[in-house]
């Protein structure tokens, strides 16, 4: 569709789902044949997509309609929209598949969604202008990058409470966690650095100089 800008693949590797920003659809692609299926209507300007570990549901964050659309992968049918904060721009799902966390840029919150019922919980306040989220492999902590406050906010998933923000470089725009969960790496766009954070201590290490605008 028009302006595809996010993609996720089912755990069994059979289907890729593509979010089409200006078409307000998600296109399923059968990987064995590389054929696109019928586009699935979702909300206004879908910007990110995540799939549950069991592969049953794809969750789509719709930037301008402030909703998340759940799609049943078995049928390709979109379910009832789930209301979240203003300008949802990123989404991640816990390894156990129980909770989807949705980052909302304008309200500086993260909304937990219980996947069993597709109900949104109480929004969790994070730093200004959050734009990215990653969840530790053990599922205990979600880390949220907020470019407006130059911080990473850890969220304890057991209680859905935010911990002490961790200062990083200027304009942190993306985040990734090592498979063993020991280190979070944060790309700081205007600092031209990557900041390592030790998850055991929650402390940022010495920034690593990289190229322009990571």
Which residues touch 122 (CB under 8 Å, ≥6 apart)? 112, 160
211 burial type by CB count under 10 A (0-12 exposed, 13-18 middle, 19+ buried): exposed
pLDDT score at 105: 97
Which two structure tokens, joined as six digits, stand for 101? 């966390």
The tens digit of pLDDT for each residue in 137-158 reads 999 999 999 999 999 999 999 9
Quick one: 81 exposed, middle or buried, by C-beta within 10 A (0-12, 13-18, 19+)?
middle
pTM to 2 decimal places: 0.97
* Alpha-carbon radius of gyration of the chain: 17
**Chain mean pLDDT for the chain:** 98
CA distance 202 to 214: 22
**Model confidence over 90-124: pLDDT tens digits?**
999 999 999 999 999 999 999 999 999 999 999 99
Question: pLDDT tens, 164-181?
Answer: 999 999 999 999 999 999
CB half-sphere exposure, 119, CA atoms < 13 A: 4
DSSP code, position 168: -
Enter the tokens of residue 76.
């390709």
């Amino acid at each position: 569709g028009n302006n595809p800008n996010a993609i996720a693949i089912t755990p069994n590797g059979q289907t890729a789902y593509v979010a089409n920003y200006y078409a307000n659809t998600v296109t399923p692609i059968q990987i064995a044949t590389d054929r696109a299926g019928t586009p699935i209507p979702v909300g206004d300007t879908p910007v990110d997509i995540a799939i549950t570990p069991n592969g049953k549901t794809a969750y789509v964050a719709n930037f301008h309609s402030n909703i998340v659309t759940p799609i049943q992968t078995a049928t390709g049918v979109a379910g009832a929209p789930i209301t979240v904060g203003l300008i949802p721009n990123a989404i991640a799902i816990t390894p156990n598949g129980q909770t989807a966390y949705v980052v909302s840029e304008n309200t500086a919150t993260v909304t937990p969604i219980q996947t069993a019922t597709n109900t949104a919980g109480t929004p969790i306040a994070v730093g200004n202008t959050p734009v990215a989220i990653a969840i530790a492999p053990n599922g205990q902590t979600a880390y949220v990058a907020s470019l407006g406050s130059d911080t990473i906010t850890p969220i304890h998933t057991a209680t859905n409470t935010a911990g002490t923000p961790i200062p990083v470089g200027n304009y942190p725009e993306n985040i990734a966690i090592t498979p063993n969960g020991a280190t979070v790496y944060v790309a700081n766009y205007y600092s031209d650095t990557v900041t390592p954070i030790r998850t055991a201590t929650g402390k940022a290490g010495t920034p690593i100089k990289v190229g322009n605008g990571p």
